[in-house]
Amino acid sequence: MGAILDLTDVHVKIEQAYVLQGVSFSVPEGELVALLGRNGAGKTTTLESILGLCPPFEGEVEFKGESLIGIPPFKIAQKGIGYSPDSARIFSELTVTENLKMGLLHHDGPKNFKAAYELFPFLEEHKENLGKSLSGGEQKLLALARAMVDETLDLLLIDEPTEGLSPENTQKVYTALEEVKDRASILLVADDLELAKEFAEEYVILSSGADQESGDIDELIRNPDIAEKYLSTGVRNGETK
Amino acid sequence: MIATLASALIDGLALSMLYFMIASGFSLIFGLEGIVNFAHGSLFMLGAFVSYEVVSYTGSFYLGLAAAGLSMAIIGALIESGLLRKKFGNEMAIIMITLGVMYVIHHGALIRYGAASSTYRKIPSYLQGTLKPGQLILNNYQLFIIVLGLIIAGAVFLFLNRTNVGLIVRAGIDDVDMARALGANTRRTFTLVFAIGSALAGLGGAASVGWIYASVDLGLSYLFFAFAIVVIGGLGSFKGTFYGSLLAGITHELFAYFIPFLAGPSLFILMAAILLFKPEGLAGGAKQ
Amino acid sequence: MKTLERHLKTHSSSLMIVALFFALIPLFSYFGLPYSDILTRIFIIAIYALSFDLLLGYTGLLNFGQSLFFGMGAYATAYTLNWGGMSFLIALIFSAAIGGLLGILLSIMVKRSFKGIPFTFFSLAFAMIVLSMYQKRLFQGISGGEGGLLLPVPGILRSIWALRVYEFGFLGLLTLALLFIIYRSTRGSSLYVRIGLMVGSSGIAAIVFYLVAQHLDHLAKAATYERLIPNSYYLALTVLVAVYFLARRIVSSPVGRVWQSIRENETRTGVIGYNPFNYKLMAVAVSGAIAGLAGGLYAPYLLTVSAANVFDPFLTIKALIFAVLGGLGTLKGAILGAGIILLLEHFLNPLIGEWTNILIGVLFIVIVFTMPRGIIGELMTTGGKSFREIIKEMVG
């Protein structure tokens, strides 16, 4: 099966900081790839560079064999990529329904939120309320729902969906991922190794600078040393941040 | 006393509507694009003169209004796409460019019109004269401005709340990068909003001619009025701008009728008071 | 001698020479070249533009009511001269003080929204309230109404003695500087060449001194008005030079560095232990005092002070144009910008009238696109080349 998303030697600078120094990996069609790494390794920046929000100054990003370099973010999104950022970033002055509508901007045909409401019934209860009236956890779920409400999307970029959620809400995220996994390829930034182990077929670990490790998720499960090396919280081998 | 109060209120409402027409576009543009458009007042002034010229040549009042709105929409779109787009994100450069445009329009108008002020020679007869229900005396033209302002406010409100583009505009005011990442063509939306905002300013200018006369000085005064009103209502908030305009216009006229020497600074006193005690504005403000 | 040597070696020496060159200009009027009047205006407005750049360029605060400080400075001088009957120098001190006090008042009032656009709007409101009060008939007594307040010409601007001090003082300095440069730059040459050059230049200086004496003799016999022009000219030039060096001293002092760090990142500045409010208050007050001083100088130049000509919001907009054209945060830029624009206006206005301003507006937009850092800013960063090197290249 071919790759739906291909990153080759991507370099990104944000102001003075050299955040990504040659990131390469691909997301095979129909699979879920977990993007792992410590805080500050550049996971969120990787997603933003795919969407063109912080465009790479070097390297290649291909979606379905087409280069995304130099294309404005809204056109990249229109090609069929959904995005659920880690800080939720829902529209606080829009109602819940309107937030979901923003996820359906380029969906032709009738716009219905049934799928989203079935997964997250609380959204239907609050559908006329403003985004800012939801709790932090609810806002994160709304962001996830907004990214997956358009069922025609081919690739979802999901950033730390369970971070800071209650066990109850985490369970809802698991259900949602289970359901959406069947219809779209997913690049999932996972703060939680359990989440990756549960859903991912493959993993990519970003480390400081150009260091990077990837492979089959079973390998990661079998070999705890890899996780230990890259994901433990201690600072080792002179690596910083 | 009652009659005077009623006149003050009607004048205040009419002034509010002029304030609203200049400030709503200014506020939308600021809220969505983060641009402080120093040329906005000049578009109001230019709209007044375009309408004045068109009415002089064709004799049609409504054609004048339409021409003012349309031509300012085009000029606004050109300013946005031709000059500002390349400098987005560079706050200082944006301020400079809009100031330069303001400077050019202001002095261009001075060449053509000098210090004189002009008004329509011909407006429909039903807009002239007064209505006299009971003891009250209501000026038809002021009533017309109120109706026009309310229609425009309603139209903009529907545009923002009932259309897809309006949804994108409101989402963009919240978080423009996120709207972009969800596939909203913000570039086109920016130009459109700039054009609409400019058209509103032009219409406001055109409507003002029959009451307060067109003069070059209007440009700077109305720019400052727009500043004051968006501060009073809350930066970037549409509803706030509407209520802010009402408050400012009525306050101004009440002062003008009863304590005249405070009328001029009333708007700025309100603005200063808001910044002192409620910096986020009446409506809370979507953005600081 | 050692300190003078070091001073001449550093950047300020060239500026000193420029200032001294301008010291000669009033002599031209003796030959029928009347540039002193427009230059006086440029010097005064440059002081005002400098006050604006000091705030915006170094602290990042855009004061849209800067003309309030300028205008109140002008009125303060008018009041002291008219009603106090005091000397012009005391009036100037009052003007600077009122500017500084208004700056402190503004800072305290705006404390809760002391940055970015809210500050800009608040400073505008602050200025507009005063402006509209001054335009009211009710306050005609203090504003002078539409005609404005008429000022008596201050004694110091009429005095032939002041003029003598200025002219001979500046020329003496110029001669000393010239002799010193010759002495330094001919170090390798033979003693005779050096003495010859120095005697020769002293001879030239003697001729200039003779002309100055003639000039003064002529003025002593003439009406006071003719003395007014060179006197105002020299006073404005002296104040401009003094304010420039003072401002440079301030921005390179620890306080100036805190200002710049507030401009870059206010939160961080607060975290490392400086109270941003105090430093911003200082910046607004210093900038206000300088603007007030400029207004004080401007009052006798105008002879009548009215709300329309000293509070004009366009004065603020122009200060912004001057500072940006020359280069924000360079101080020199504000002076250069004021010079360029006012000279353009002066020479083009009689030819093309109001079109001059359209040209300035267009020029301004072009500058934003082609030289985003302003003229001085671009010169300072063109591949690390200095101004002198660029001139050298241009010459060949």
User: Minimal CA–CA distance to B99: which of B160, B150, B42?
Assistant: B42
Helix (H) or strand (E) holding C261: helix C254-264
Domain residue ranges of chain A, discontinuous segments joined by +: 3-231
Query: Which of the two residues, C366 and C37, has the higher pLDDT score?
Result: C366
Q: Which residue of B has its CA nearest to A50?
A: B181
The answer to whether residue B190 sits within a structural domain is yes
Q: What total number of domains does chain B contain?
A: 1
Residues B222-245 have a mean pLDDT of 89
Provide the 8-state DSSP code for B118. Answer: B
In a domain? residue B172: yes
CB atoms within 10 A of CB C38: 16
Nearest alpha carbon to residue A147 among A159, A156, A139: A156
Of C125, C358, C369, the CB nearest to B272: C125
Of C118, C324, C365, the CB nearest to B279: C118
Complex prediction ipTM: 0.86
B88 touches chain C (CB under 8 A): no
Question: What residues of chain B lie within 8 A of the CB of A83, using their CB?
Answer: 181-182
Chain C residues inside the 8 Å CB shell of B96: 320, 324, 364-365, 368
Contacts of C301 (CB under 8 A, 6+ apart): C40, C41, C44, C232, C236
Higher pLDDT, C2 or B272: B272
Q: Note whether A touches C: 3 CB pairs or more under 8 A.
A: no
Asked whether the predicted pLDDT for residue C121 surpasses 80, the reply is: yes
- C-alpha–C-alpha distance, residues B177 and B165, integer Å: 16
Which residues have a Cβ under 8 Å from the Cβ of C297 and sit 6 or more positions away?
C44, C47, C77, C92, C232, C235, C236, C239
Amino acid at A186: I
Overall average pLDDT of the C204-233 stretch: 81
pLDDT band at C205 (very low <50, low <70, confident <90, very high): confident
- Whole-angstrom Cα distance, residue C222 to residue C27? 15
Whether C354 and B268 lie within 8 Å, measured CB to CB: no
Residue B15 predicted with pLDDT over 70: yes
User: Which of B159, B220, B227, B191 lies closest to B33 in space, CA to CA?
Assistant: B191
CB C371 within 8 A of CB C324: no
Strands A58-63 and A3-14: what pairing?
antiparallel
Q: Does the domain made of A3-231 have the CATH classification 3.40.50.300? A: yes
B interface mutation test: which of A54, A81, A91, A155 has the most B CBs within 10 A?
A91
- pLDDT-derived band at C227, boundaries 50, 70, 90: confident
Cα–Cα distance for residue pair B220/A145, rounded to 1 Å: 47
Taking CA atoms, C233 is separated from A199, B45, C163, C217, C331, in Å, by: 81, 39, 10, 18, 21
pLDDT mean over C298-320: 90
Whole-number Å distance between alpha carbons of C95 and C360:
31
> What distance in Å separates the CA atoms of residue B96 and residue C318, rounded to the nearest whole number?
11
SS (H, E, C) A32-90: EEEEEECCCCCHHHHHHHHCCCCCCCEEEEEECCEECCCCCHHHHHHCCEEEECCCCCC
Angle formed by the axes of helices B164-174 and B2-33, nearest 10°: 80
Q: Is A14 helix (H, G, I), strand (E, B) or coil?
A: strand
Rounded CA gap, B64 and B56, in Å?
Answer: 9
How buried is A67 (Cβ within 10 angstroms: 0-12 exposed, 13-18 middle, 19+ buried)?
Answer: exposed
Please tell me which of the candidates A72, A74, A102 has its beta carbon nearest to residue B171.
A102
pLDDT at C30: 62
Residue C354 has pLDDT above 90, yes or no: no
As a dihedral over the C-alpha atoms of residue A172, residue A173, residue A176, residue A182, rounded to 10 degrees, the angle is -140
Asked if pLDDT for residue B255 goes beyond 50, the answer is: yes
- List subunits contacting chain A, requiring 3 or more Cβ pairs under 8 Å: B
DSSP 8-state class, residue A5: E
Identify the pLDDT of residue B87: 86
- 3-state class (DSSP) for residue A206: strand
Q: Whole-number mean pLDDT of chain C?
A: 84
Per-residue pLDDT band at B286 (split at 50, 70, 90) = very low
Lowest mean pLDDT: which of A51-55, B103-107, C384-388? Answer: C384-388
Q: How close B153 comes to chain A (CA, Å)? A: 19
Put simply, whether B271 touches C (Cβ < 8 Å) is yes
Within-domain flag for B283: no
Within-domain flag for B288 = no
Contact B249, B19 (CB under 8 A): yes
Please indicate whether, in this complex, the C-beta atoms of B272 and C328 are within 8 angstroms of each other.
no
Q: Percent of chain A scored above 90 by pLDDT?
A: 24
What are the tens digits of pLDDT across the range C43-83? 999 999 999 999 999 999 999 999 999 999 999 999 999 88
- B and A touch per CB criterion (3+ pairs under 8 A): yes
| Residue C217: per-residue pLDDT | 81
On the question of pLDDT at B137 being above 60, the answer is yes
Contact: B107, C110; criterion CB under 8 Å: no
The secondary structure of B178-240 as a DSSP string is HHHHTT--HHHHHHHHHHHHHHHHHHHHHHHHHHH-B-TTHHHHHHHHHHHHHHHH-TT-HHH
Query: For testing the chain A interface, which of B165, B169, B178 should be mutated: the one with the most A CBs within 10 Å?
Result: B178
Distance from CA of C49 to the nearest CA of B (A): 16
Smallest CA-to-CA distance from A90 within A141, A164, A40, A41 is with A141
- Helix (H) or strand (E) holding C40, with range, is helix C36-59
- Residue pair C86/C287 in contact (Cβ under 8 Å)? The answer is no
In this complex, the residue of C116, C120, C128 whose CB is nearest that of residue B265 is C128
For residues B188 and C18, which has the higher predicted lDDT (pLDDT)? Answer: B188
Q: Which residue in chain B is spatially nearest to C373 when comparing CA positions?
A: B93
Is B282 contained in some domain? no
What average pLDDT does range C284-299 have in this prediction? 96
Low-confidence stretches of chain A (pLDDT < 50) are: 233-241
Q: B278 at the C interface (CB within 8 A)?
A: no
Q: CA A145, CA A124: separation in Å to the nearest integer?
A: 12
Q: What is the pLDDT of residues B30-68, one digit of tens each?
A: 988 888 899 999 999 999 999 999 999 998 999 999 999
Q: In the numeric block, which tokens belong to residue B35?
A: 């641009």
Q: Which residues of B touch C317 (CB under 8 A)?
A: 99, 102-103
For C270-281, letters b (16+ CB in 10 Å) and e give eeeebebeebbb
Look up residue C348 and give its two tokens: 């083009």
Is the pLDDT score of C156 beyond 50? Answer: yes
What is the C-alpha to C-alpha distance for residues B73 and B75, in angstroms, rounded to an integer? Answer: 6
Would you state the structure tokens that stand for residue B32, as one six-digit string? 């969505």
Separation CA B236–CA A50 (nearest Å) = 30
Judging contacts by C-beta atoms under 8 Å, the chain C residues touching residue B110 are 354, 357
Residues from chain C contacting residue B99 (CB–CB below 8 Å)? 317, 320-321, 364
How far A179 CA lies from chain B's nearest CA (Å)? Answer: 21
Q: How far is CA A86 from CA A146, A188, C180, in A?
A: 13, 11, 68
Mean predicted lDDT score pLDDT of chain B? 90
Say if the Cβ atoms of B175 and A89 lie within 8 Å. yes
Sequence-distant (≥ 6) Cβ neighbours of residue B222 within 8 angstroms? B22, B40, B41, B44, B45, B201, B204, B205
Contact A106 B178 (CB under 8 A): no
Q: Do C125 and B92 touch (CB under 8 A)?
A: no
Q: Answer whether C129 sits within 8 Å of B83, measured CB to CB.
A: no
Nearest to A116 by CA among A166, A82, A150, A155: A150
For residues A116 and A123, give the distance between their C-alpha atoms in angstroms, rounded to a whole number.
8
- For chain B, the C-alpha Rg in angstroms (whole number) is 19
CA–CA distance from C387 to each of C11, C12, C375 (Å)?
11, 13, 11
Residues of chain C with pLDDT > 70: what percent?
Answer: 90
Long-range contacts at B187-192 (CB < 8 A, ≥ 24 apart)? B187/A72, B187/A74, B187/B85, B189/B32, B189/B165, B190/B32, B190/B33, B190/B80, B190/B85, B191/B77, B191/B80, B191/B81, B191/B85, B192/B77, B192/B165
Chain C interface residues facing chain B, Cβ-Cβ under 8 Å?
62, 109-110, 112-113, 116-118, 120-122, 124-126, 128-129, 132-133, 135-136, 138, 313-314, 317, 320-321, 324, 328, 353-355, 357-358, 360-362, 364-365, 368-369, 372
Please report the pLDDT score of residue C390 as a whole number.
47
Q: Which domain holds residue B16?
A: 2-277
Q: Nearest by CB to B107, which of C320, C328, C361?
A: C361
